[in-house]
Structure 1
Amino acid sequence: MGKRLIPAEPAEIHDVQLRDALEERYLAYALSTIMHRALPDARDGLKPVHRRILYGMRLLRLDPGSAFKKSAKIVGDVMGSFHPHGDQAIYDAMVRLAQDFASRYPLVDGQGNFGNIDGDNPAAYRYTEARMTDVARLLLEGIDEDAVEFRPNYDGQTREPVVLPGGFPNLLANGAQGIAVGMATAIPPHNAAELCDAALHLIDKPDATSKSLLRWVKGPDFPTGGIIIDSKESITEAYMTGRGAFRTRAKWNQEEGARGTWVIVVTEIPWLVQKSRLIEKIAELLNEKKLPLVGDIRDESAEDIRVVIEPKSRNVDPELVMESLFKLTELESRISLNLNVLIKGKIPKVVGLAECLREWLDHLRDVLLRRSAYRKAQIEHRLEVLGGYLIAYLNIDKVIKIIRTEDEPKPALMKAFKLTEVQAEAILNMRLRSLRKLEEMEIRTEDKNLRAELKGINAVLGSEARQWEKVAEQVRTVRDMFGPKTPLGKRRTVFADAPEHDLAALEESLVEREPVTVVLSDKGWVRTLKGHVEDLSSLSFKTNDKLGFAFFAETTSKLLLFATNGKFYSLDVAKLPGGRGHGEPIRLFIDMEQDAAIVSLFVNTGGRKFLIASHEGQGFIVNEDDCVGTTRKGKQVLNVEMPNEAKAIVTVAGDQVAVIGTNHKMVIFPLDQVPEMARGRGVRLQKYKDAGLSDVAVFDSKAGLTWKDSAGREQGLRWKDLSDWRGNRADAGRLAHGLPKSNRFGRTI
């Protein structure tokens, strides 16, 4: 029979508030994400996964110039010893370090398919190989000389560096992207030589501000080049506060073809933009007819980027073509700056440029002190050993005799020659073949050289000024390695001002130019019909509604609406509803008061002059360009107060003005009696007692006055026949015999 199982004593149970338990656990998760995953260390500019990859490659002796090793081997060692978070996460991070279009100064030298700028995936890690670059070697230099602290790895079986020695300004040079809990970081790449120059200035003047450092650090330097079009003021603000963004545009040029044709060739695109996705987006916009200036696009890229854009017509402005593309595609990209980093590896903080470089320089000094102390201890130990060797050389026979005869030779040697334990141990561990090397001159020469080196180290350790001299020397070496004349160090991103373009022309370039007919019903429902439709008899309207205005326009046209409140409203034809149906209320596109009605709607052609008038008979001449507003609320031009309202608008084309009132009286007077204004109440045009203005007309005295009768037929009177009504502005006028009883001239703009 089997043994009977006795239940174990239940563990002690503690009551914990759910809120407290959740807060504690979520805070632990947040801290882990911030410190061990998302934010880079300000000192070496690395996140833990990148640091572990580089240290793992160091242990595998994958130095620059050495043989490549399989990426699978690297990933396996890093995962097994330092980073137990999945092989794909490690490989993805390593691939990014090797991509020269993603990293400004790659830390990994890859062999095989490591992906491309089109966004294609890299080959699996069993197919690719890698080793470190010179930049990675600089970051690791001195790690075997106690340059940095080490801590136990995740399982305590080995140790890993808390931070790398960081002999390269990696944080700003390569940048970083990361999203933590409640915070994020976004650091674009910069030019290493510029950073070194700024750091050298910071060594000379420790109190230098971020603004003063911009003399050297002009702005980001992306691996894919491009053009930054931000103002110097906004760039300065970004580096002073540690937060901002950079508008980056693709680099392009115009190539002439045969018989006057030309194409646009894009040679550089913004950082982190996938070329294939960019071209797909442009092709979609072409199919949707949102890029009327562009005829075709094709990718002729090989190793270098070459995206060819053909215009629809050789007569269009290439600048305008590109502006339309910048507005709608990722050919212009906004790259964020959020200098949120871990200070001393522990405190997340948003810093400016000066503080960022100061953290790096302080770290270099700490590394220098640690390496100097380590070397000092090595030299002192070696000097002690050399002292023992010298004694052994001078007394070699006696030493050999003691070793041969004594059961415990170590204490005997120490007693006979007053040796230290280290010296005695060194003599006893010496191989016989070394006896021939024990020459007094060699020992004394090495001793002298080591003492001279020790003196220099002590001088450095004892003087802060000497320490900064050494750091500056190290920074200069890095600057020379990646100077502007080197292929890797040459600046790739340039700066320029955004070209000024007519916004109206730009908006027009984004719309396909097609003829349309604008239809506005009596109750304010607007729609557009394709083409110029002459016969509108078949149009249907809502119940109790009818045709108000109809006129020809184009999809790129701008409209002006004149309302009874004396305001002009601007509308884009492209934004009006098309297709079948009754359209939509025009009030959806403008903020017009409910008690206001439409006086007129027409195409804004610019440059014309209008005579506008109110019901009380006041008016003036206004330039069409002064009527165009930029907001939905419209632009007040004719000042009216209820119950008075704007009543009429007519194009100024002639030398005489005819005004007719609701009392059927008309007066005609010279146009020059009406002033031109940009805004106001105007002057009295006709005098009324118990009536108001009904309509106005401007005509040429040579041609006479014309109007339309109730049947729509054209009627008119010659100038000599109008003598009964000719007078001056503000006259009451005389009854208009023969004119329509509607008191309207039937004129439209």
Structure 2
Amino acid sequence: MSSDEENPLSTSSEPLSRAIGERYLTYALSTIMHRALPDARDGLKPVHRRILFAMRELKLSPTGGFRKSAKISGDVMGNYHPHGDAAIYDAMARLAQDFAMRYKLVDGQGNFGNIDGDNPAASRYTEARLASPSESLLQGLAEDAVDFRPNYDGTLTEPVVLPAAFPNLLANGASGIAVGMATNIPPHNLGELVEALLEMIKRPDITDDELVEHIPGPDFPTGGVLVEPPENIRDAYRTGRGAFRLRARWEKEELGRGQWQIVVTEIPYQVQKSKLIERLAEVIQTRKVPALADVRDESADDIRIVLEPKSRTVEPEMLMGMLFKNSDLEVRFSLNMNVLIDGRVPKVCSLKEVLRAFLDHRREVLLRRSQHRMDKIDARLEVLEGYIIAFLNLDRVIEIIRYEDEPKAMLMAEFELSDVQAEAILNMRLRSLRKLEEMELKRERDALIEERSGLEDLLASEKLQWKTIGGELKDIDKKFGRNAEGGARRTGFAEAGEVEEVPIEAMIEREPITVILSKMGWIRAMKGHNALDAEVKFKDGDGPMFAMHAETTDRIVAMGSNGRAYTVLGANLPGGRGMGEPLRLMVDLPNEAEVTHLLLPKAGEKYLLASSDGDGFICPGEELVAQTKSGKQVLNMKGAAKTTVCSKIDGDTVACVGQNRKLLVFSLEELPEMARGKGVRLQKYKDGGLSDAKTFTLADGLSWKDPAGRTRTETDLAEWTGKRASAGRMAPRGFPRDNRFT
């Protein structure tokens, strides 16, 4: 016997390089496959998969009760994941954070941390259960949908991968650092992912660039604005590597008297708010951005970071451009789609490859679940056939059971039953021996045979399989897609360009608003397009004057009686909860002037402008938009004249009516088009002035509302047609007493 065999504790020698190489390689493979990289099929790392599976085993359904987080992390550690409980709890807490996960997988109760960067409370103080999306990830585990493997000590089994009814890898993203490689995948909008998958099922040869038409970019849970050029986004998805520029969402808030401030309402993903505030304070202290005077955190449940400029003459876009360069209000989010294909091979995948891995997994799950169901049906049909034979020969079966020493063998021999059938008959309850039961058994058998036939067709037809998968994806879209609660896209898109020249509209989310201006000049914007005649509260003695539908990105023009056009941005208007703010504090409208018209001029539109003196012209819509608070002089007037008409041109003919009730109709071609001026005479008056004017299509006739509120249309206008600047004839009978067309 050798000395080595005599001493079991003896040592052996080998080169250090080989020993380190082998051991480090083992560690590296373990880190890559079992810790840091997610599986392309369910988008989960082992720790997350084990947390969800353990919570399922604890029956913590989304509609059930909560359990202590300490109990959950203890079960995960003891049964499946023999690592530190703190690491397990941190991983579970992240799954419950709505600012970290686009679609939460765990529903938490208690303090699970916040966007400031504060840690969750200890596991003994918090409770958790599965969130609704987790049910879709786990659905099918009891139907042999995936393989199971022994846990670390061989006493239990755990799934190798989850069935995953939706592409969780892209929906929630993932990040991890392994040995020699890393992964970083941003979250995406599930509705867009489903749309792309359905298109991929229809056209398997679809390209990555075509997929980007359905998935234009990441959708972060914290919102923000993507300013990466579309071509860069396409390249990133095609190669699996790239980066996205993500900016905070902000808006300019008017404070009155020419003062304003910037309010940041969404910050970039994975940026801690407390550290962002510290960085902004440091920027002020070091004077890197001299235009910034102060920063305040006024956040409650939502984000509200207030940035005060040193001077109101600073352009908000220029200030934000400097802050984007010097703080985490703009970050670059790296894309590195390095994932495990089939749970074994790490690979940097394109967008199409990741989606294809998910679809192939869903097909395998469908086939396995269908086969499992068929096996269950076959087993049940065998038992049912035995029951039916027993009912057809009930007296003989009872006789055998009563008098035979070995009834099972006798039943099998006499009725050619299988062991399973004979055992089922012997275990049958006496209450089942009734006529109705026989009918129910035959009905169940027929239903199972029909279901089995459908499953056979499904297993034999690849087309039918993809159709079924498409139907499952549509169900997911109904549950969590863009029309579901919280499913709408949160991250917007904008062009970066030169940061100092970015128009403010590009950084504001486009939303519908209803703009209301009162008689006393108070303006506000209600969210959404509400009915223009809906009841709205006003201050005592005040009432409605103008109401119009617009969007937050629109530039709204208020035409003053002094001929000046004043412009306000829809996003800068005060909200509709209060009474609004005086328009005079937002623009330099003189006290002696009042607003005569509220409009939304667009490029390409033309407007008819006219003064009470009867002078007017055609003005392009873009010329009405002013760039400063002081407005823009458009219509020149003398003396006590006021702006009377400012209406969009719609037709080929002009109708004017004077204070003397004389009506004149002439061709629109007789009016000049100009950006500013007095214009030309529309109608001649001996005394008085212009009451109203409008444009219309001559072929359709001239319409107005009579005193009873009915619309009247006059098509024979020869009596009132003449040359511009003539006096006209008395208006027809039934014309409104206030000499206005509307």
TM range (shorter): 0.5 to 0.7
Q: Work out which of the two has the higher radius of gyration on C-alpha atoms and give 1 or 2.
A: 1
Structure 1 residue 500, shift from structure 2 partner: 2.2
Q: Is the 8 A contact 2:321 2:500 kept in 1?
A: no
Moved more, 279-288 or 171-180: 279-288
Q: What do the CA deviations read for 1:660-679 (whole angstroms, capped 9, x no partner)?
A: xxxxxxxxxxxxxxxxxxxx
Check whether the contact 1:226–1:251 (CA below 8 A) recurs between aligned residues. yes
TM-score (norm. length: structure 2): 0.66
Partner of 1:143 in structure 2? 141
Q: What is the identity, as a one-letter code, of the residue corresponding to 2:266?
A: E
The 5 Å alignment of 1:567-716 reads none
Matches of 2:500 and 2:320, distance apart in 1: 14
Letter matched to residue 204 of structure 2: P
Over aligned residues, Cα RMSD in angstroms? 1.4
Measure, in 2, the Cα distance between the counterparts of 1:77 and 1:397. 54
Matches within 5 A, 1:93-108: 93-108=91-106
Q: Is the 8 A contact 1:187 1:338 kept in 2?
A: yes
Q: Give the corresponding residue for 1:472.
A: 470
Matching residue of 1:175: 173
TM-superposed deviation, 1:84: 0.6
- 1:88 and 1:10 map into 2 onto residues whose CA distance is 38
Aligned pairs for 1:46-445 within 5 A: 46-436=44-434, 439-445=437-443
Deviations 1:146-181 (Å, cap 9, x if unpaired)?
000000000000000000001011000000000000
Q: CA deviation at 1:401?
A: 1.9
The answer to whether the 8 A contact 1:70-1:127 is kept is yes
The verdict on how the C-alpha distance between 1:501 and 1:345 changes in structure 2, with shifts beyond 3 A counting, is: closer
CA shift, 1:499, in A, is 4.2
Contact preservation (8 Å) 2:318, 2:500: no
CA shift in 2, pair 1:304/1:502, >3 Å: closer
Q: Which amino acid aligns with 1:179?
A: I
Give the Å deviation of 1:487.
2.4
Does structure 1 retain, via aligned residues, the 8 Å contact 2:317–2:500? no
Counterpart contact for 2:93–2:120, Cα < 8 Å: yes
Give the Cα separation in 1 of the matches to 2:430 and 2:152. Answer: 45
Contact 1:71 1:125 in 2 (8 A): yes
User: Given residue 468 of structure 1, which amino acid in structure 2 is its aligned partner?
Assistant: W
Deviations 1:327-367 (A, max 9, x none): 01000011010000000000000000001000000000000
- Within-5 A mapping of 1:517-532: none
SS in 1 for 2:294: strand
Alignment partner of 2:213: what SS? coil
- Determine the structure 1 residue equivalent to 2:450: 452
Deviation, structure 1 residue 433? 3.2
Q: Distance in 2 between matches of 1:378 and 1:247?
A: 53
> CA, structure 1 residues 390+450, in 2 after alignment: closer, same or farther (shift >3 Å)?
same
- Please state whether the residue corresponding to 2:433 is helix, strand or coil: helix
Q: Distance in 1 between matches of 2:95 and 2:490?
A: 19
Query: 1:249-282, CA deviations, whole angstroms, 9 ceiling, x for partnerless residues?
Result: 0000001002110000000000000001100111
Deviations 1:70-97 (A, max 9, x none): 1111111111000010100100000000
Q: Distance in 2 between matches of 1:436 and 1:319?
A: 83
CA contact (8 A) 1:152 1:160 kept: yes
**Structure 1 residue 13, shift from structure 2 partner:** 4.7
1:78-131 per-position Cα deviation (integer Å, ceiling 9, x unaligned): 110000101001000000000000000000000110000000111111111111
Shift in Å, 1:486? 2.0
Deviations 1:444-500 (CA, angstroms, capped at 9, x unpaired): 110110000000000011111111111111111111222222222100001100142
1:704-741: CA deviations, max 9, x gaps? xxxxxxxxxxxxxxxxxxxxxxxxxxxxxxxxxxxxxx
For residue 492 of structure 2, what is the aligned residue in structure 1?
494
Separation in structure 1 between the aligned mates of residue 289 and residue 9 of structure 2, nearest angstrom = 72
- In 1, Cα distance between the equivalents of 2:126 and 2:209? 44
The code of the aligned residue for 2:473 comes to: V
Assess, with a 3 A threshold, how the Cα gap between structure 1 residues 167 and 437 changes in structure 2: closer, same or farther. Answer: farther
* Inter-partner Cα distance in structure 2 for 1:162 and 1:438: 46
Q: Return the alpha-carbon distance in structure 2 between the equivalents of residues 121 and 28 of structure 1.
A: 33
What is the CA–CA distance in structure 2 between the aligned matches of 1:384 and 1:164, rounded to whole Å? 31
Take 1:123 and 1:309, find their aligned partners in 2: how far apart are those partners?
31
In structure 2, give the amino acid aligned to 1:129: E
SS in 1 for 2:339: strand
Cα distance, 1:192 vs structure 2? 0.5
Percent identity over the alignment? 62
CA deviations over 1:637-663 (Å, ceiling 9, x no partner): xxxxxxxxxxxxxxxxxxxxxxxxxxx
SS in 2 for 1:336: strand
CA contact (8 A) 2:102 2:172 kept: yes
Q: For 1:552-571, what aligned pairs fall within 5 Å after superposition?
A: none
C-alpha displacement of 1:431? 2.5
Q: Which amino acid aligns with 1:425?
A: E
Answer whether contact 1:388 1:427 (CA < 8 A) is retained.
Answer: yes
Distance 1:158 1:46 in 2: 20
Distance 2:20 2:436 in 1: 70
Deviation at 1:142, TM superposition (A): 0.6
The secondary structure found in structure 2 opposite 1:310 is: strand
User: How far off is 1:397 after superposition?
Assistant: 2.1
State how 1:24-35 maps to structure 2 within 5 Å: 24-35=22-33
Q: Is this contact kept in 2: 1:252–1:268, CA < 8 A?
A: yes
Tell me the distance in 2 between the aligned counterparts of 1:389 and 1:316. Answer: 88
**How many angstroms does 1:386 deviate by?**
0.4
Q: Which residue matches 2:729?
A: none
Structure 2 counterpart SS, 1:106: coil
Query: Gapped runs of 5+ residues in structure 1?
Result: 1-6, 504-749
User: Contact 1:393/1:438 (CA < 8 Å) preserved in 2?
Assistant: no
Aligned residues: 497
Q: What is the rounded CA distance, in whole Å, between the counterparts of 1:437 and 1:263 in structure 2? A: 82
Contact 1:389 1:438 in 2 (8 A): no
- Structure 2 unmatched ranges of 5 or more: 502-742
Contact 1:30–1:181, Cα closer than 8 Å, also in 2: yes
Contact 1:393 1:439 in 2 (8 A): no
Contact preservation (8 Å) 2:106, 2:134: yes
C-alpha distance after superposition, 1:6-65 (max 9, x if no partner): x96345654322221111111000000000000000000000000000000000111111
**CA distance in structure 2 between the partners assigned to 1:8 and 1:77 by the alignment:** 43
